[in-house]
Structure formats: C-alpha cells, structure tokens
Amino acid sequence: MSGVAEASAVASPPYDVEKIRRDFPILSRRVHGKPLVFLDSAASAQKPRQVIETVKQVYEEDYANVHRGAYELSARATARYEGARETIRAFLNAEKSSEIIFTRNATEGINLVANSYGGAFLGAGDEVIVSELEHHSNIIPWQLLRDRQGLVLKVVPITDDGEFRLEDLKALITPRTKLVAVAHMSNALGTVLPVREIVRLAHAAGAKVLLDGAQAAAHQRVDVREIGCDFYVFSGHKLYGPSGIGVLYGRQELLQEMPPFMGGGEMIGTVTFEKSTWARLPHKFEAGTPAIAQAIGLGAAIDYVSELGLDRIAAHENALLNYATQQLASIPGLRIYGTAPGKAGVISFDMDCAHAHDLSTVVDRAGVAVRAGHHCAQPLMAKFGVAATARASLGLYNNKADIDALVSALDHVRELFGR
Amino acid sequence: MDELRELYQEVILDHSRNPRNCRHPGDATCQARGDNPLCGDQITVYLKVDDQGVVTDAAFEGRGCAISMASASMMTDLVKGKTEAAAKDLFERFHQMCTTDDAASAEGTELEKLQVLSGVRDYPMRVKCATLPWHAMSAALAGEEEVTTEK
C-alpha cells in the first residue's frame, strides 16, 4: 500500500499555490498601494501567462479568418481553432467535437437553446422548470420564450440554507414538463446542485436538461456523459480564459434537429435567394466570424487547468473555503448566506453595521476585491430579504493570506461603521 | 483609513443611521422610485407640491448604502420650502459637485451642507449612490413614476 501511495505522490506533486500565483501577472500588481487580493473570480477569473501568451502569439504568428482561405495562414488558424474545440470536447468528455458549439458566453448558449430548441419544440402549455437560485441569464431567456409561445415557467424553491432538494423538483414535474434548466453551481451561494439525480428525474419524465455550468466548470471536473445532460453551457472568462468566448455542448441528435439560431456566413451549405441549406454541425450554429484568438486562448486555459488537475484545484479551493468560512463566521455581526452541504468556493455575506457597497468600498482601499450587489440573482436576493450582499469567491490562485487580508479589511469596516 | 473617513464623515454616518424624513406621507402629490440596477438599491421619494409649485413636504423610503441613505436624508431636508425650479437647480449643482473637481465654491450657499457628500468624487463607482435619491426627486417632479441610474 505504501508503494502505491508513494507512486501517486510522485505522479501528483503537492498543490503549490505560491508557484501557481506566479503564473498570473496581475496578482503582482498593487491597488491603492496595497497588494491586490482578488476574491471576485466568480464574476471573472484572472488569466495565467500561458493564456495571455497564446492569444498574443496567435495574433503575431497564426492569425487569419477560419474556414475560408486556402492559404497557409488560414489553414493554421483553422487548425488551431478546431484544435481548441477538440480540447474542449475532451475537457467535457463529450462524444464528438461536433457537439461543441462556440458561443460568446454561457448567456448566449442558453439563449441559443431557448430560441432554437425552445422555438422549434416547445409550445403553449409546455413546462420549463428553473430553480430559485438561477442567474438572470437562466431566467430571462425562458421568460422571453414563455411570453412568446405561451409556456409555463416553474420555479423549484431553495431552502433557507440555499439547498436544492430533489423532492421539490419532483413535486413540480408533470407530463407537460419538457425542459429542466438549472445551474450546476450557484454564483451567489456556492450551492452545487445534484445534477445527475436531476437528469435522472427529468429524463424519467421525458424532459430534457440544460445545465448552466458558468460557475461549476472552473471548480470541478465536468463529464457531460456521466452527468447525462442534454445541454451544458459555460463561459471562457470564468475558466481563466479570454472573455467573448463560451461553449454550448449539446447532444448531437438534438443539435441535428434544431434550426439555426443566427444566420450569416459560415453556417450555410448553399445559398440562393429562394432557399438556403445549413452547414453541418457544429458550424450550423456558428454564424459569422467567430472569436478566433479567444477560442484558441480558451483551449490554452483548459490545458492549464487540466495540467493542474480539476480535482486538485477543487481540493485546494474547498480547504480554503472551509478556512474562509471559519474566519468570517468569527466576525461579530457577519451573516453568511448559503450553507448547503457540499457547496463550492463562494461566500455571500453581509454585516449588520454596514451595507454591502460600503463594505466593498472600504475593503477595496485595502486592495481587496469583492463583489457587492445582487449577483444577477435578484429573485434569490428577494428570497433572503436583502437587496445586496458582499461576495468573496475563490479561484485556483487564492491562498490563506488572501482570506486573512479580507478578514483584516473587514475589521476596518467595523471600526468605521460599528457603533 | 484616513481617506475613508473623508468619504464616511460623521455627518454621513449619522444621517445614514438616523435618516430624516424616512416615512411615507399620505398626502404626497407626486412620487417616484429610483433604481440602481447595478446594485439593486431602491429609493422612493415622496413630494408634496402646492399650487405655487413649492415643495412643502419631502420624504423617502427605501434601502441602500450609507451614501444613498445620507444623501436622501439631507436632500429631503433641503428641498422642503423650495420651488420646483430651485430644487432642480440644487440637484444640478450637487451633481456637478459630485463629479467635477473644479466645482464653484459651495461656501455660504445651501450646497455647503451637501459638501460632506462630495467625497464620492474620488470613488467613481459610488457617485450614483449619492445621486440616486436626487434622480428620483427629479423624476417625481417631472411626473414620472420610476427612474434608473442606467439610462
């Protein structure tokens, strides 16, 4: 047994967060004269040098439009762009790279499914189920569709701890339920939803499942075939990649039957004024020149996190989350929102002496970046009876010193506002 | 910490903890809700304007940060007894004070009382907190029912 342990220790060196931090140039800058303490990765993550260099190198050496030219540079750009698609396929363990659609972000992926799949296959009286903890990006597209096509939008309530309970979903599913669209992980609370069980319940009722992986993809390994979902979306910028690029995974048989979302170049087979035909997957859903360098940059970001190992990143972040939760909970007058078992790297909180914005302004002066606001989840905030909370969210580069800096900055808040 | 005390002066903390005119008067002649969609803060301003166009009562309800609460508290105190035109003019000058460095000296004018809020100049993300109640007041006078800081 000890031989096995030693062997795995060699294969997997300890998680050296200080070394990892040196990959992120921005972490060495100062803010208001203080070292930057970045605790807002749930809004957008910082980028490692490997991603920055890749994007720069694409523009300096391999840039041309993709799927158009017959010349060398276009061939190279196309190969790298399609290479990134294959990297993403492997990352999600999808069966085929044609199931990977490049979008601008997770929001666009959800809108694509709502408009294309929803537009073609959902009708009056059909039910779409979301949860109370959704980001606005997984609420509004379904509301728009509901108002256009007469769907019924149902909402799974969340417990006071921020937990999603399967029985609450079960109670809402009927024979008219056609789609369950929920977050894999809550951006506001950190709750991780039981997605395999959600898929099982939905599929048993004949409903499809879309998962919003905008938060989850950066914090845990995602295997779309193991989960069994029909659609999975995420954004590149929360996964240490560039902004302006995101991914929609869809099962091929569904994507095949779905009409195009946007029309334009690249998505066509042949065009006449009378009738046009569509390109094969994935290009049918990629109208217009895509975000070429960003897609290749996302591939580099996925290579980066894959090399570190999503499981090791998750272990590091969870240990840090426990430490942060303990430290924050010991501050008098501080309340944490969302304590579901198995939650991941997000802590939403407020203090009785100060509003979240005042808190955020004060800690910013100590170099600490936390989000203050409704986190694009106003229905969830309303449930908790608050207009805004402060949110500290963790990335693979955060360390205990970051948490200590936050705690010490929160002392300033109490000093200023406490009575 | 010292620069933060510049922003959060004692007067502001006092107004935010004990806001004046924080109530819903039954006889208001106009009202408007101000939303800051970036943060979710909401403030409703109630005004009673008489036949001569004079604001005879001003009050507000809502929740928000120390800056927006203090600003609403001071604003409702200041506009009482002013004509609509004078209230709008005060907003103009207050807005300028919050956004430009070279605003005319407020000394000896009614703007002087609002000067404690001018610290937001150094915090561009917070200017909208200070002006939210004023936008709501101005909307109420214009007969609109809601206004947002994001146009």
Closest chain B C-alpha to A362 CA, distance in angstroms: 7
Task: Report yes or no on A139 lying in a domain.
Answer: yes
Return the CATH number at A384: 3.90.1150.10
The answer to whether residue A3 is domain-embedded is: no
In a domain, A180, yes or no: yes
Instruction: Tell me what pLDDT residue A1 has.
Output: 39
Number of domains chain A is built from: 2
Tell me, what's the pLDDT at B147? 85
A174 plus A239 within the same structural domain:
yes
- Domain that residue A89 falls in: 51-307
The 3-state DSSP class for residue A348 equals strand
User: A269 and A356, same structural domain?
Assistant: no
- Residues A15 and A99 occupy one common structural domain: no
For B39, the closest chain A residue by CA position comes to A373
Q: Do B8 and A358 touch (CB under 8 A)?
A: yes
Within 13 Å, how many C-alpha atoms sit on residue A185's CB side? 24
Closest Cβ–Cβ partner in A373, A381, A417 for B13: A417
Map residue A235 onto helix, strand or coil.
strand
Q: Do A356 and B129 touch (CB under 8 A)?
A: no
Does one domain contain both A288 and A362? no
Residues of A in contact with B65 (CB under 8 A): 355-358
Same domain? For A58 and A167 the reply is yes
DSSP state of B126: G
Distance from CA of A135 to the nearest CA of B (A): 14
Question: Which stretches of A215-313 are assigned E, i.e. beta strand?
Answer: 231-235, 246-250, 268-271, 276-278
Active-site residues of A, by number, are 376
Residue of B nearest to A387 (CA): B40
Same domain, A222 and A358: no
Backbone angles phi, psi at A210, to 5 degrees: -110, 130
More confident residue, B48 or A387: B48
Quick one: three-class SS letters along B36-48? ECCCCEEEEEEEE
**CATH code for the domain in which residue B95 is found:** 3.90.1010.10
- Of all residues in chain A, the one with the smallest CA distance to B9 is A416
Contact B40 A388 (CB under 8 A): yes
ipTM of the complex: 0.89
Is residue A48 a contact partner of residue A19, using CB atoms and an 8 Å limit? no
Please report, to the nearest 10 degrees, the dihedral formed by the alpha carbons of residues A56, A61, A64, A70 taken in order.
Answer: -160
Contacts of B69 by beta carbon, 8 Å cutoff, 6+ apart: B15, B16, B19, B63
B18's CB contacts (< 8 A; 6+ apart) are none
A317 lies in the same domain as A294:
no
Listed residues A307, A325, A347: the one ending a domain? A307
Per-residue model confidence as pLDDT tens for chain A (419 residues): 344 444 444 566 789 999 999 999 999 999 999 999 999 999 999 999 999 999 999 999 999 999 888 899 999 999 999 999 999 999 999 999 999 999 999 999 999 999 999 999 999 999 999 999 999 999 999 999 999 999 999 999 999 999 999 999 999 999 999 999 999 999 999 999 999 999 999 999 999 999 999 999 999 999 999 999 999 999 999 999 999 999 999 999 999 999 999 999 989 999 999 999 999 999 999 999 999 999 999 999 999 999 999 999 999 999 999 999 999 999 999 999 999 999 999 999 999 999 999 999 999 999 999 999 999 999 999 999 888 999 999 999 999 999 999 999 999 999 999 86
Chain A interface residues facing chain B, Cβ-Cβ under 8 Å? 354-358, 361-362, 365, 372-374, 378, 381, 387-388, 412, 415-417, 419
> Would residue A223 count as lying in a domain?
yes
Domains: count for chain B: 1
Distance from CA of B46 to the nearest CA of A (A): 21
Is the Cβ pair B4, A355 closer than 8 Å? Answer: no
CA distance A18 to A195: 33
Instruction: Look at residue A2 and tell me if it is in a domain.
Output: no
* Residue A5 included in any domain: no
Residue A408 lies in a domain: yes
Do A21 and A167 lie in one domain? The reply is: no
Is A242 found in the same domain as A204?
A: yes
Cα of B57 to nearest chain A Cα, Å: 27
pTM higher than the cut 0.90: yes
Same domain? A246 vs A215: yes
Considering only CB atoms, B40 lies closest to which of A358, A378, A412, namely A378
Nearest to B40 among A362, A381, A416 (CB): A381
A356 and A246 both lie in a single domain:
no
Considering the domain architecture, whether residues A143 and A246 belong to the same structural domain is answered as: yes
CATH code for the domain in which residue A208 is found: 3.40.640.10
Where in the sequence is the domain holding B87, given as residue range(s)? 2-148
